[in-house]
Protein backbone atom coordinates (compact mmCIF):
# COMPACT_ATOMS: atom_id res chain seq x y z
CA UNK A 1 0.00 0.00 0.00
CA UNK A 2 1.12 3.58 -0.74
CA UNK A 3 2.88 5.15 2.19
CA UNK A 4 1.40 8.44 3.32
CA UNK A 5 4.04 11.03 4.04
CA UNK A 6 2.84 13.69 6.49
CA UNK A 7 6.24 15.13 7.36
CA UNK A 8 6.78 17.77 4.67
CA UNK A 9 8.25 20.21 7.19
CA UNK A 10 11.15 17.78 7.74
CA UNK A 11 11.80 17.54 4.04
CA UNK A 12 9.85 17.31 0.78
CA UNK A 13 10.02 14.89 -2.14
CA UNK A 14 12.08 16.10 -5.08
CA UNK A 15 9.98 17.26 -8.04
CA UNK A 16 10.53 15.15 -11.13
CA UNK A 17 11.44 18.07 -13.39
CA UNK A 18 13.93 19.25 -10.75
CA UNK A 19 15.56 15.81 -10.64
CA UNK A 20 15.76 15.77 -14.45
CA UNK A 21 17.35 19.24 -14.62
CA UNK A 22 19.87 18.21 -11.97
CA UNK A 23 20.75 14.93 -13.64
CA UNK A 24 21.48 16.77 -16.92
CA UNK A 25 23.96 18.93 -15.03
CA UNK A 26 25.54 15.96 -13.24
CA UNK A 27 26.02 14.02 -16.45
CA UNK A 28 26.92 16.65 -19.00
CA UNK A 29 27.79 20.00 -17.38
CA UNK A 30 30.62 19.04 -15.11
CA UNK A 31 32.59 22.29 -15.48
CA UNK A 32 33.81 24.34 -12.55
CA UNK A 33 32.03 27.72 -12.68
CA UNK A 34 35.27 29.49 -11.73
CA UNK A 35 37.18 28.05 -14.76
CA UNK A 36 37.60 30.37 -17.73
CA UNK A 37 37.20 27.75 -20.50
CA UNK A 38 33.95 26.80 -22.21
CA UNK A 39 33.03 24.04 -19.75
CA UNK A 40 33.47 26.49 -16.87
CA UNK A 41 31.53 29.22 -18.65
CA UNK A 42 28.59 26.90 -19.26
CA UNK A 43 28.50 25.88 -15.59
CA UNK A 44 28.70 29.58 -14.63
CA UNK A 45 25.70 30.33 -16.86
CA UNK A 46 23.65 27.64 -15.08
CA UNK A 47 24.58 29.05 -11.68
CA UNK A 48 23.71 32.62 -12.68
CA UNK A 49 20.38 31.64 -14.30
CA UNK A 50 19.48 29.85 -11.07
CA UNK A 51 20.52 32.87 -9.02
CA UNK A 52 18.08 34.99 -11.03
CA UNK A 53 15.29 32.46 -10.49
CA UNK A 54 15.85 32.38 -6.73
CA UNK A 55 16.04 36.18 -6.62
CA UNK A 56 12.81 36.52 -8.56
CA UNK A 57 10.99 34.09 -6.28
CA UNK A 58 12.03 36.16 -3.23
CA UNK A 59 11.75 39.66 -4.69
CA UNK A 60 15.51 40.21 -4.26
CA UNK A 61 18.31 41.26 -6.62
CA UNK A 62 20.42 38.41 -7.96
CA UNK A 63 23.64 39.95 -6.56
CA UNK A 64 22.06 39.65 -3.10
CA UNK A 65 21.78 35.84 -3.30
CA UNK A 66 24.62 33.84 -1.73
CA UNK A 67 24.31 30.10 -2.38
CA UNK A 68 25.03 27.97 0.68
CA UNK A 69 24.66 24.33 1.72
CA UNK A 70 21.26 25.09 3.25
CA UNK A 71 19.56 27.19 5.86
CA UNK A 72 21.69 25.95 8.79
CA UNK A 73 24.77 27.38 7.10
CA UNK A 74 22.92 30.60 6.19
CA UNK A 75 21.74 31.08 9.79
CA UNK A 76 25.21 30.38 11.20
CA UNK A 77 26.78 32.81 8.71
CA UNK A 78 24.51 35.67 9.72
CA UNK A 79 25.04 35.19 13.44
CA UNK A 80 28.81 34.96 12.96
CA UNK A 81 28.80 38.55 11.64
CA UNK A 82 28.09 39.62 15.23
CA UNK A 83 31.55 38.54 16.36
CA UNK A 84 33.11 41.42 14.42
CA UNK A 85 34.71 43.68 17.08
CA UNK A 86 34.41 46.68 14.75
CA UNK A 87 30.61 46.63 14.60
CA UNK A 88 29.21 49.98 15.72
CA UNK A 89 26.53 48.21 17.84
CA UNK A 90 26.57 45.04 19.90
CA UNK A 91 24.09 42.35 20.71
CA UNK A 92 21.45 40.07 19.28
CA UNK A 93 17.70 39.87 19.82
CA UNK A 94 16.11 36.55 19.00
CA UNK A 95 13.23 34.38 20.18
CA UNK A 96 13.10 31.29 22.37
CA UNK A 97 11.41 29.20 19.64
CA UNK A 98 14.07 29.40 16.93
CA UNK A 99 15.45 26.46 14.99
CA UNK A 100 18.59 24.96 16.60
CA UNK A 101 20.69 26.49 13.79
CA UNK A 102 19.94 29.87 15.40
CA UNK A 103 19.66 28.77 19.04
CA UNK A 104 23.05 27.10 19.18
CA UNK A 105 25.11 29.84 17.50
CA UNK A 106 23.23 32.40 19.64
CA UNK A 107 24.31 30.52 22.79
CA UNK A 108 27.88 30.50 21.44
CA UNK A 109 27.68 34.26 20.96
CA UNK A 110 26.56 34.64 24.58
CA UNK A 111 29.57 32.58 25.69
CA UNK A 112 31.80 34.87 23.62
CA UNK A 113 30.40 37.88 25.52
CA UNK A 114 27.87 39.13 22.95
CA UNK A 115 24.66 40.12 24.78
CA UNK A 116 21.61 38.16 23.61
CA UNK A 117 18.03 39.14 24.44
CA UNK A 118 15.62 36.19 24.27
CA UNK A 119 12.07 37.18 23.37
CA UNK A 120 9.44 34.76 24.70
CA UNK A 121 6.29 33.66 22.85
CA UNK A 122 2.69 33.59 24.05
CA UNK A 123 0.41 30.54 24.26
CA UNK A 124 -0.30 30.97 20.53
CA UNK A 125 3.40 30.68 19.74
CA UNK A 126 3.84 34.30 18.69
CA UNK A 127 6.28 37.00 19.74
CA UNK A 128 4.95 40.43 20.57
CA UNK A 129 6.28 43.16 18.23
CA UNK A 130 6.23 45.58 21.19
CA UNK A 131 8.62 43.35 23.16
CA UNK A 132 10.93 43.20 20.15
CA UNK A 133 10.82 47.00 19.77
CA UNK A 134 11.42 47.57 23.47
CA UNK A 135 14.58 45.45 23.25
CA UNK A 136 15.52 47.02 19.89
CA UNK A 137 15.44 50.47 21.48
CA UNK A 138 18.51 49.41 23.47
CA UNK A 139 20.37 49.35 20.11
CA UNK A 140 21.43 45.77 19.26
CA UNK A 141 23.41 44.90 16.14
CA UNK A 142 20.77 42.49 14.81
CA UNK A 143 17.32 40.99 15.36
CA UNK A 144 16.93 37.41 14.12
CA UNK A 145 13.52 35.74 13.98
CA UNK A 146 12.03 32.62 12.48
CA UNK A 147 9.16 33.52 10.11
CA UNK A 148 7.19 30.25 10.22
CA UNK A 149 7.97 27.81 12.98
CA UNK A 150 9.03 24.39 11.70
CA UNK A 151 7.20 22.54 14.50
CA UNK A 152 3.94 24.46 14.82
CA UNK A 153 3.78 26.35 11.51
CA UNK A 154 3.00 29.53 13.50
CA UNK A 155 3.87 32.68 11.58
CA UNK A 156 5.51 35.57 13.39
CA UNK A 157 4.30 39.12 12.64
CA UNK A 158 7.31 39.74 10.43
CA UNK A 159 5.81 42.56 8.31
CA UNK A 160 5.05 44.62 11.41
CA UNK A 161 8.39 43.85 13.06
CA UNK A 162 10.33 44.58 9.86
CA UNK A 163 8.64 47.98 9.48
CA UNK A 164 9.25 48.90 13.14
CA UNK A 165 12.92 47.88 12.97
CA UNK A 166 13.49 49.75 9.71
CA UNK A 167 12.18 52.84 11.45
CA UNK A 168 14.74 52.26 14.25
CA UNK A 169 17.60 51.46 11.83
CA UNK A 170 18.12 47.92 13.24
CA UNK A 171 18.77 45.15 10.69
CA UNK A 172 16.48 42.10 10.70
CA UNK A 173 17.42 38.54 9.76
CA UNK A 174 14.51 36.22 8.99
CA UNK A 175 14.75 32.45 8.89
CA UNK A 176 12.22 31.86 6.09
CA UNK A 177 13.09 28.19 5.57
CA UNK A 178 9.51 27.01 6.15
CA UNK A 179 7.85 30.06 4.59
CA UNK A 180 9.21 30.12 1.04
CA UNK A 181 6.96 28.07 -1.24
CA UNK A 182 4.08 28.08 1.26
CA UNK A 183 3.40 31.80 1.81
CA UNK A 184 4.10 34.96 -0.19
CA UNK A 185 7.62 36.27 0.45
CA UNK A 186 8.49 39.57 -1.21
CA UNK A 187 11.63 41.32 -0.12
CA UNK A 188 10.74 44.30 -2.27
CA UNK A 189 7.89 45.17 0.05
CA UNK A 190 9.36 43.84 3.34
CA UNK A 191 12.44 45.60 4.75
CA UNK A 192 14.52 42.56 5.75
CA UNK A 193 18.34 42.78 5.76
CA UNK A 194 19.03 39.01 5.66
CA UNK A 195 16.91 35.98 4.79
CA UNK A 196 17.75 32.27 5.00
CA UNK A 197 16.06 29.49 3.05
CA UNK A 198 16.62 25.95 1.90
CA UNK A 199 15.85 24.03 -1.31
CA UNK A 200 14.73 20.77 0.28
CA UNK A 201 11.74 22.35 1.99
CA UNK A 202 10.25 23.32 -1.38
CA UNK A 203 10.65 20.14 -3.38
CA UNK A 204 14.26 20.87 -4.28
CA UNK A 205 17.43 18.97 -3.35
CA UNK A 206 18.96 18.62 0.11
CA UNK A 207 22.21 20.40 0.89
CA UNK A 208 21.51 23.61 -1.06
CA UNK A 209 20.01 26.89 0.02
CA UNK A 210 20.83 30.53 0.18
CA UNK A 211 21.45 33.51 2.34
CA UNK A 212 20.02 36.73 0.96
CA UNK A 213 22.03 39.74 2.10
CA UNK A 214 20.16 42.82 0.99
CA UNK A 215 21.84 46.05 -0.14
CA UNK A 216 25.12 46.55 1.67
CA UNK A 217 24.38 44.20 4.60
CA UNK A 218 27.81 42.89 5.63
CA UNK A 219 28.63 39.18 5.32
CA UNK A 220 31.66 37.58 6.97
CA UNK A 221 32.21 34.30 5.16
CA UNK A 222 32.20 31.16 7.29
CA UNK A 223 34.08 29.37 4.52
CA UNK A 224 37.26 31.12 3.46
CA UNK A 225 39.53 30.20 0.62
CA UNK A 226 37.94 31.11 -2.68
CA UNK A 227 36.50 33.95 -4.74
CA UNK A 228 33.10 32.27 -5.09
CA UNK A 229 29.85 34.04 -4.29
CA UNK A 230 31.61 37.44 -4.49
CA UNK A 231 34.00 36.30 -1.77
CA UNK A 232 31.10 35.78 0.63
CA UNK A 233 31.22 31.93 0.60
CA UNK A 234 34.34 30.10 -0.53
CA UNK A 235 34.30 26.67 -2.17
CA UNK A 236 33.37 25.27 -5.57
CA UNK A 237 29.64 25.70 -6.14
CA UNK A 238 27.26 22.74 -5.95
CA UNK A 239 26.13 23.39 -9.53
CA UNK A 240 23.54 20.59 -9.77
CA UNK A 241 22.10 21.51 -6.35
CA UNK A 242 21.94 25.18 -7.29
CA UNK A 243 20.20 24.36 -10.58
CA UNK A 244 17.68 22.21 -8.67
CA UNK A 245 17.15 25.00 -6.14
CA UNK A 246 16.63 27.58 -8.92
CA UNK A 247 14.02 25.45 -10.66
CA UNK A 248 12.28 24.56 -7.39
CA UNK A 249 12.03 28.29 -6.60
CA UNK A 250 10.70 29.09 -10.06
CA UNK A 251 8.02 26.39 -9.75
CA UNK A 252 7.13 27.52 -6.22
CA UNK A 253 6.79 31.11 -7.41
CA UNK A 254 4.53 30.24 -10.36
CA UNK A 255 2.43 27.73 -8.39
CA UNK A 256 2.25 29.56 -5.07
CA UNK A 257 -1.47 30.38 -4.99
CA UNK A 258 -2.52 26.90 -6.12
CA UNK A 259 -0.17 25.32 -3.57
CA UNK A 260 -1.60 27.42 -0.75
CA UNK A 261 -5.12 26.37 -1.77
CA UNK A 262 -4.24 22.68 -2.13
CA UNK A 263 -2.25 22.49 1.13
CA UNK A 264 -4.98 24.30 3.09
CA UNK A 265 -7.60 21.93 1.75
CA UNK A 266 -5.56 18.88 2.77
CA UNK A 267 -4.73 20.31 6.19
CA UNK A 268 -8.32 21.35 6.91
CA UNK A 269 -9.61 17.94 5.85
CA UNK A 270 -7.09 16.29 8.17
CA UNK A 271 -8.06 18.53 11.10
CA UNK A 272 -11.77 17.97 10.51
CA UNK A 273 -11.46 14.21 10.11
CA UNK A 274 -9.34 13.92 13.25
CA UNK A 275 -11.43 16.21 15.43
CA UNK A 276 -14.56 14.25 14.47
CA UNK A 277 -12.90 11.02 15.59
CA UNK A 278 -10.91 12.08 18.65
CA UNK A 279 -12.62 13.82 21.55
CA UNK A 280 -10.66 16.65 23.19
CA UNK A 281 -8.09 16.92 20.41
CA UNK A 282 -6.17 20.18 20.81
CA UNK A 283 -4.31 22.24 18.33
CA UNK A 284 -1.01 23.75 19.50
CA UNK A 285 -0.51 27.35 18.40
CA UNK A 286 -2.77 29.83 16.72
CA UNK A 287 -4.97 28.58 13.89
CA UNK A 288 -5.11 32.07 12.43
CA UNK A 289 -1.48 32.92 11.65
CA UNK A 290 -0.14 29.57 10.53
CA UNK A 291 1.35 27.84 7.50
CA UNK A 292 -1.27 26.35 5.16
CA UNK A 293 0.30 22.87 5.48
CA UNK A 294 0.94 22.36 9.20
CA UNK A 295 -0.98 21.00 12.18
CA UNK A 296 0.58 20.47 15.59
CA UNK A 297 -1.84 18.43 17.69
CA UNK A 298 -2.06 17.32 21.28
CA UNK A 299 -3.40 13.80 21.80
CA UNK A 300 -4.05 14.01 25.56
CA UNK A 301 -2.68 11.02 27.43
CA UNK A 302 -1.03 9.36 24.40
CA UNK A 303 2.75 9.05 24.14
CA UNK A 304 3.81 10.83 20.93
CA UNK A 305 6.85 8.59 20.43
CA UNK A 306 4.70 5.49 20.59
CA UNK A 307 2.30 7.00 18.06
CA UNK A 308 5.10 7.91 15.64
CA UNK A 309 6.37 4.32 15.67
CA UNK A 310 2.93 2.71 15.43
CA UNK A 311 1.94 4.97 12.53
CA UNK A 312 5.19 4.22 10.74
CA UNK A 313 4.29 0.53 10.86
CA UNK A 314 0.89 1.42 9.36
CA UNK A 315 2.64 3.24 6.47
CA UNK A 316 2.19 6.79 7.75
CA UNK A 317 5.13 9.11 8.36
CA UNK A 318 4.60 11.79 11.02
CA UNK A 319 6.91 13.38 13.57
CA UNK A 320 7.01 14.84 17.05
CA UNK A 321 8.38 18.13 15.76
CA UNK A 322 11.75 18.91 14.32
CA UNK A 323 13.40 15.97 12.56
CA UNK A 324 16.27 16.24 15.01
CA UNK A 325 13.87 15.81 17.94
CA UNK A 326 12.68 12.47 16.65
CA UNK A 327 14.22 9.79 18.79
CA UNK A 328 15.26 12.30 21.44
CA UNK A 329 13.56 12.07 24.81
CA UNK A 330 13.47 15.76 25.69
CA UNK A 331 10.15 17.47 24.96
CA UNK A 332 10.02 20.08 22.19
CA UNK A 333 11.44 23.43 23.36
CA UNK A 334 8.99 25.18 21.03
CA UNK A 335 5.95 23.67 22.76
CA UNK A 336 7.25 24.09 26.30
CA UNK A 337 8.15 27.73 25.54
CA UNK A 338 4.48 28.17 24.52
CA UNK A 339 3.48 27.07 28.02
CA UNK A 340 2.70 23.39 27.43
CA UNK A 341 3.76 21.00 30.17
CA UNK A 342 6.40 18.37 29.31
CA UNK A 343 3.65 15.79 29.29
CA UNK A 344 1.50 17.82 26.89
CA UNK A 345 4.49 18.37 24.62
CA UNK A 346 5.30 14.66 24.67
CA UNK A 347 1.75 13.84 23.59
CA UNK A 348 1.91 16.17 20.57
CA UNK A 349 2.53 15.35 16.93
CA UNK A 350 3.41 17.48 13.94
CA UNK A 351 1.48 16.65 10.78
CA UNK A 352 2.63 18.53 7.69
CA UNK A 353 1.15 18.02 4.23
CA UNK A 354 2.55 18.75 0.79
CA UNK A 355 2.78 17.63 -2.80
CA UNK A 356 1.78 14.13 -3.84
CA UNK A 357 -1.07 13.77 -1.31
CA UNK A 358 -4.78 13.38 -2.09
CA UNK A 359 -7.88 13.90 0.06
CA UNK A 360 -8.31 10.10 0.06
CA UNK A 361 -4.81 9.69 1.49
CA UNK A 362 -5.74 12.15 4.22
CA UNK A 363 -8.96 10.25 5.05
CA UNK A 364 -7.01 7.00 5.33
CA UNK A 365 -4.32 8.64 7.45
CA UNK A 366 -6.95 10.18 9.76
CA UNK A 367 -8.49 6.77 10.39
CA UNK A 368 -5.13 5.27 11.30
CA UNK A 369 -4.11 8.22 13.45
CA UNK A 370 -7.39 8.08 15.39
CA UNK A 371 -7.02 4.32 15.94
CA UNK A 372 -3.38 4.59 17.01
CA UNK A 373 -4.15 7.54 19.32
CA UNK A 374 -6.91 5.56 21.07
CA UNK A 375 -4.58 2.59 21.53
CA UNK A 376 -1.78 4.82 22.86
CA UNK A 377 -4.19 6.56 25.24
CA UNK A 378 -5.48 3.23 26.55
CA UNK A 379 -1.93 1.90 26.95
CA UNK A 380 -0.81 4.87 29.04
CA UNK A 381 -4.02 4.77 31.14
CA UNK A 382 -3.54 1.05 31.92
C1 LIG B 1 13.04 26.89 10.27
C2 LIG B 1 14.23 26.13 9.84
N3 LIG B 1 15.43 26.72 9.82
C4 LIG B 1 16.53 26.09 9.42
C5 LIG B 1 16.50 24.77 9.03
C6 LIG B 1 17.76 24.09 8.57
O7 LIG B 1 17.71 23.91 7.19
P8 LIG B 1 18.74 22.94 6.44
O9 LIG B 1 18.18 21.58 6.60
O10 LIG B 1 18.70 23.41 5.03
O11 LIG B 1 20.07 23.14 7.05
C12 LIG B 1 15.28 24.08 9.04
C13 LIG B 1 15.21 22.66 8.69
O14 LIG B 1 14.52 21.89 9.34
C15 LIG B 1 14.11 24.79 9.44
O16 LIG B 1 12.92 24.18 9.47
> Is the shortest distance between the CB of 72 and ligand 1 below 6 Å?
yes
The mean predicted confidence, pLDDT, of the chain is 96
Distance CA 354, CA 371 (A): 23
Distance CA 251, CA 282 (A): 34
Statement: 16-252 belongs to CATH 3.40.640.10: yes
Domain ranges of the chain: 4-12+256-381, 16-252
> Is the shortest distance between the CB of 101 and ligand 1 below 6 Å?
yes
Report the pLDDT value the prediction gives residue 328, as an integer from 0 to 100.
Answer: 57
Convert the pLDDT of each residue in 60-92 to its tens digit: 999 999 999 999 999 999 999 999 988 888 999
Distance CA 287, CA 69 (A): 32
**Percentage of the chain lying above the pLDDT 70 cut:** 98
Catalytic residues, by residue number, are 324
Indicate the top mutation candidate among 70, 153, 173 to test ligand 1's pocket, ranked by most ligand atoms within 8 A of CB: 70
> Is the shortest distance between the CB of 228 and ligand 1 below 6 Å?
no
Indicate the top mutation candidate among 177, 200, 211 to test ligand 1's pocket, ranked by most ligand atoms within 8 A of CB: 177
Distance CA 238, CA 245 (A): 10
> Is the shortest distance between the CB of 129 and ligand 1 below 6 Å?
no
Report the pLDDT value the prediction gives residue 321, as an integer from 0 to 100.
Answer: 73
Report the pLDDT value the prediction gives residue 330, as an integer from 0 to 100.
Answer: 86
Query: Averaged over 211-232, what is the pLDDT?
Result: 95
Q: What angle do CA 104, 105, 110 make, to 5 degrees?
A: 95
The more confident residue out of 382 and 326 is 382
Query: Averaged over 142-170, what is the pLDDT?
Result: 98
Interval between CA 191 and ligand 1 midpoint (Å):
22
Find out whether 178 and 159 touch, Cβ atoms under 8 Å: no
Report the pLDDT value the prediction gives residue 323, as an integer from 0 to 100.
Answer: 54
Q: What count of other Cβ atoms lies within 10 Å of the Cβ of residue 137?
A: 10
Helix (H) or strand (E) holding 18: helix 16-28
Third-level CATH fold of 4-12+256-381 = 3.90.1150
> Is the shortest distance between the CB of 198 and ligand 1 below 6 Å?
yes
Interval between CA 176 and ligand 1 midpoint (Å):
9
Residue 325 pLDDT > 90: no
Distance CA 47, CA 30 (A): 12
Report the pLDDT value the prediction gives residue 1, as an integer from 0 to 100.
Answer: 85
Helix (DSSP H) and strand (DSSP E) numbers for the chain: 12, 12
Interval between CA 181 and ligand 1 midpoint (Å):
14
Indicate the top mutation candidate among 97, 148, 154, 198 to test ligand 1's pocket, ranked by most ligand atoms within 8 A of CB: 198
Residue ranges of alpha helices (H) inside 206-303 are: 228-231, 239-277
Report the pLDDT value the prediction gives residue 324, as an integer from 0 to 100.
Answer: 46
Query: Averaged over 205-225, what is the pLDDT?
Result: 96
Query: Averaged over 249-260, what is the pLDDT?
Result: 98
Distance CA 239, CA 26 (A): 8
Report the pLDDT value the prediction gives residue 279, as an integer from 0 to 100.
Answer: 86
117 forms beta bridges with 93
Q: pTM of the prediction?
A: 0.97
Amino acid sequence: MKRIYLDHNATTPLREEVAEAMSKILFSEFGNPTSTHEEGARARTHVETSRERVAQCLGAKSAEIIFTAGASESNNTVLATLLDPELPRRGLITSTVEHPSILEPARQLEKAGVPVTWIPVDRDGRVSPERVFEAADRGPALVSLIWANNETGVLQPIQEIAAGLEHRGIPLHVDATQTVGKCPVDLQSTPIAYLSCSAHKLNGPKGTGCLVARGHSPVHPLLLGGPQERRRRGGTENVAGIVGFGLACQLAHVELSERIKAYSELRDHLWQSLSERIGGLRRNGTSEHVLPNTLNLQFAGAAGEVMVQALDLEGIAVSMGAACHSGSVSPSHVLTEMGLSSEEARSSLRLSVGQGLTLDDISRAAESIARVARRAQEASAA
